[in-house]
Amino acid sequence: MFYVQRDAQGQLIRVEAAAYAEATETLPADNHEIQAWYANEAVENSLRQLKQSDFEMIRVLDDLIQVLTQKGVIRVTDLPPAAQAKLMDRTQAREALGGLSQLIDEEEGGLI
């Protein structure tokens, strides 16, 4: 059994397995609204994780491009103009914040 709270339109706004003061009714686990609630929550969690992963991968790619250009493996001019512009914008933003060293998470221990 799940304890639920609804908004003025009758939509679920909170679902808990344990009773809470604002709960207005209970619904069984096999209720379609309960199943939809948890399906949506799972999708939202997955999207949040993917978004966080995207941010982390952007940083990895940024660092990788920096290393490859510093070692002479590629030149920034080898990249398409739109990529060059984005890299320049990121480089300028990072420099404005004090360079790479202050942005690297202490736990990471440095570049990739």
Taking the C-alpha atoms of residue 23 and residue 3, their distance in angstroms, rounded to an integer, is 6
Q: 69: burial class by Cβ within 10 Å (0-12, 13-18, 19+)?
A: middle
Reported pTM: 0.49
- Tens of pLDDT along 97-111? 875 554 445 455 554
- Is the pLDDT assigned to residue 112 strictly greater than 60? no
CA 71 to chain centre: 31
- Tens of pLDDT along 3-58? 999 999 999 999 999 999 999 999 999 999 999 988 888 878 888 898 899 989 98
